[in-house]
Chains A and B, each alone.
Chain A
Amino acid sequence: MSEKRNPTSKNAFPTLKESIGSLLIVLIALSGVIILSFLLSKTPSKTLRYFFLGPLQNAYYFGNMLNGAIPLIFGGLGISLAMRSGNFNLGGEGQIYSGALATTLFALYLAPLGVVGAILALFIGAFVAGGLAGLSGYLRMKWDTSELITSFLISNAVVLVVNYLIAGPFMDPSTSLIATRKIPESFRLPVLLPPSSLSTALFFALVAVIIVHIYLYKTKSGYQLRMTGLNSRFAKYGGINTRKFIVLPMFLSGFLYGLGGGFAIYGTYFSSIKEFSAGMGWNGLAVALIAKNKPSMVIPAALFFSYIEAGARSAMLHSDVTFEIAAIVQSIVFFLISSEVLFTLFEKKRRYS
């Protein structure tokens, strides 16, 4: 069986090593992008310049890139929480969308309450989204229904219902956009980097990362959640109420998605526009996977994801790249980013040297 191992052989700085490994993968992925643009673009050097430097070109692009990372941070955190507990939440799309709508509607309704109303509306939105995800958790707890599938199905149905609500009873008749009325000015978060749409929502996202990190690693409930995810039989044996940690993490996961939706409204969109959040749920999932479900890693992962998106957008604006090509480039980055082997190759090399 297992031979005695020397405990001191464990690397003393695992985080340093891991972050260097991630950096390496990012570099390789970006090199792949360079090769691709030579293949797919007629003006490859121009394309590349905009792809890489576009997002950093000026405050506007830079701000928008950071702003794009905000919902991804919330989504990434949400997915990380669910995955840490051994649950899978595929319903981010519906959760972020419904959370945003609920926040918008209650923000309109609670406008007279000022800041209190804003906070209240935000939490109501988060609760709605959390409830949807929690429902999947409840179904799994009760009857062992795959939360992966139910969250996906619920989300698909919810997106349609939200579409109806936005285009139907809550549509703002004064605008030609298919959208709800805009939330009161007093509810909108201050812009950080005008003229970009980066708002102070960024700080809330960072605070959320810290809170989730503290929750997971410094609180009893977070500890119990992680134990349940690592080995639920052990957790149950240890006296942890594992049934609770099917529903709670799913709820929290949806809750964070809902917050992401709410902050997108308060910071960027100010009204629920039809299908405004399309893709955010999936991207949040990708961010969590890239971050390997570590809250602290969610920030760089979200920034990286947003950078790639912004780069692609910039290349689209300024060169002959179309968004189909941008999609291909993104997919290649995805392919490489998750290759565990690049980590391990690197680690082995270190071991032998």
Chain B
Amino acid sequence: MELAVEMRNITKTYPENNLRANDGIDFSLRKGEILCLAGENGAGKTTLMKVLYGLESHEKGTIRIRGNQENISSPLVANRLGIGMVHQHFMLVEDFTVAQNVVMGIEPRKYGIAYDLKKAVSLVNEAIAHHHFSIEADMLVRNLTVGQKQQVEIIKMLYRDVDILILDEPTTVLTELEIEALFSSLKQLAKRGKSLILITHKLKEIIAISDRVVVMRQGKMLGTYETKDVNEQQISALMMGKSISLSIKHAKRTDESQPVIECKKITVLRQGQERPLLKDLNFTAYSGEILGFAGVSGNGLGVLEAVLGGFIPVFDGKILHDGNDITNIGTAQLRRQGLAYVPSDRLQIGSSLKASVQENIIVGESRSFRKNGFIDQRQVTKHTNDLLEKYSTKGTAQMPIGTMSGGNIQKVILAREIERYQDYIVFSEPTWGLDIASSQFVYEQMASLRDKGAAVILISSNLDEILTISDRIIVLYRGTRVASFVGDEARNLSKEEIGEYMLGIRKQGASHV
């Protein structure tokens, strides 16, 4: 079969830490196939693809594109060779429209210098229609959901006529339905002869979409397999060197369960928009249970997170904590009243990347760490080191947290929030971008908190996650509660069923509370 890409003996070392991210990798991509590049965080997958895309240089090895040896020195060269990459973090200008983002760099012109904005819209609309995407070229990127933004990224590449497309963890930010839509588009593309590489560590997706799977671990390549010949357990074993399955024991609400957080008919309005972001939302989070909120993005999960975090005020309704009114008291007050909260955006909100680990640990800390009125650095460092050890996080108290890996940053955030929790804790997208081992760790922490009697609120667009660990599930659709499931009902729920509620196709009657 014809090879689209052939990489031989690629070696790449990061000079900053002498880490050999790619160690003699041999990699090939067939024309028209979907190939998954699998591995844990830090296995060197992204590095390999950055080398292919011209974003990183390599010390050793050769790259052949469609049989010809090439020196890919920049993304521009890669584009010219028909290689495109969709990054994990979107490279989109929020204030520009879809079309303007897509055509950037190869804008259609009129009179030689002017930007033909209309033509850009029509060209991009054509491309969108051609690939059956659901966006429109003249939409402002700012107003798009994450799934739609990803479509923009893909269209951006397809518009450049790439026939080798690299997608870096494309599903981390997508909902179940968006993933389905994405996968069907990707299959369409493969059918038309495009060759695709998906970087991922999600086993189910590998099985669902790929023709072949390449597994990497710690900078080395372990092998290339036909997907039909391997199963999830085998891949997982290869990726981690051992087999892990995600399972968490569920708990039932007992008579001892106390209401901790009660939301009574909360409504959030946005100026200039008719439809409220949240409307008459009622729920109670009880001690000793994990309450999961599911929903397609843009349906109020983010707003609920912001309300619970105290970032935006509610227009109407009341929030009670242990019976005390905590409506609209602001983050600082909420924190003082016992809010523990792991935010979805761990890099912008959950941590301060330039600050040291210990400075990240003591934010809003109720313990004073003070001696004679000053912060006692030694006590802080000791506390931080204790936590790093307890949560088996690699790093030192003094290093800037931004130099840690994503998984370790999340562990630091978890450590901080879990240590300070009093009776309830909010988790939003807690395993976003984490590998299986780290996700398992997070779930275990959540379960143990629950078992200790905490009211755990989980907000997640990841259905697997919701179904795996929630004791009770509430589905949000267009800012309102459309369904809730308790106990066995929640456990036996199928993804398809819950998906119908999330899409607003089905709605529960008033009997469910």
Contacts and interface: CB of A to CB of B under 8 A. Distances in A.
Q: Do chains A and B touch in the complex (CB under 8 A)?
A: yes
Given A5-B17, A237-B309, A219 B374 contact: yes
Contacts of B41: 1
A5 B332 contact: no
Contacts of A238: 335, 363-364
A239 B46 contact: no
Contacts of A223: 359, 362, 375
A233 interface: yes
A217 B355 CA distance: 12
Interface stretch (A6-14, A46-54, A150-158): A6-14
B100 interface: no
Given A5-B16, A5-B19, A230 B354 contact: yes
A241 B331 CA distance: 8
Contact of A227 (B17, B334, B355, B399): B355
A239 B406 contact: no
Contact of A5 (B311, B331, B403): B403
Contacts of A2: 42, 403-406
A118 B18 CA distance: 60
B186 to A, nearest CB: 21
B439 interface: no
A219 B375 contact: yes
Interface of B: 14-19, 21, 41-42, 44, 46-47, 88, 309, 311, 331-332, 334-336, 339, 341, 343, 348-355, 359, 362-364, 368, 370, 373-375, 377, 394-396, 399, 403-406, 433
A42 interface: no
Given A3-B47, A5-B17, A9-B17, A218 B42 contact: no
A180 B15 CA distance: 62
Given A1-B433, A237-B350, 12 more contacts: A1-B42, A1-B406, A5-B19, A6-B19, A7-B395, A220-B375, A227-B352, A234-B349, A235-B363, A239-B331, A239-B339, A351-B16
Given A4-B405, A218-B375, A240 B363 contact: yes
A55 to B, nearest CB: 37
Given A1-B88, A3-B14, A220-B375, A226 B331 contact: no
Contacts of A7: 394-396, 399, 403
A236 B396 contact: no
A20 interface: no
B46 A1 contact: yes
A214 interface: yes
The 6 closest A-B CB pairs, nearest first, are A239-B335, A238-B363, A239-B364, A238-B364, A231-B352, A218-B374
B399 A234 contact: no
A237 B17 contact: no
Contacts of B406: 1-2
18 contacts: A3-B21, A3-B42, A5-B404, A5-B405, A6-B19, A7-B394, A7-B399, A10-B403, A214-B374, A219-B373, A226-B359, A227-B359, A230-B352, A230-B354, A231-B351, A238-B335, A239-B334, A351-B15
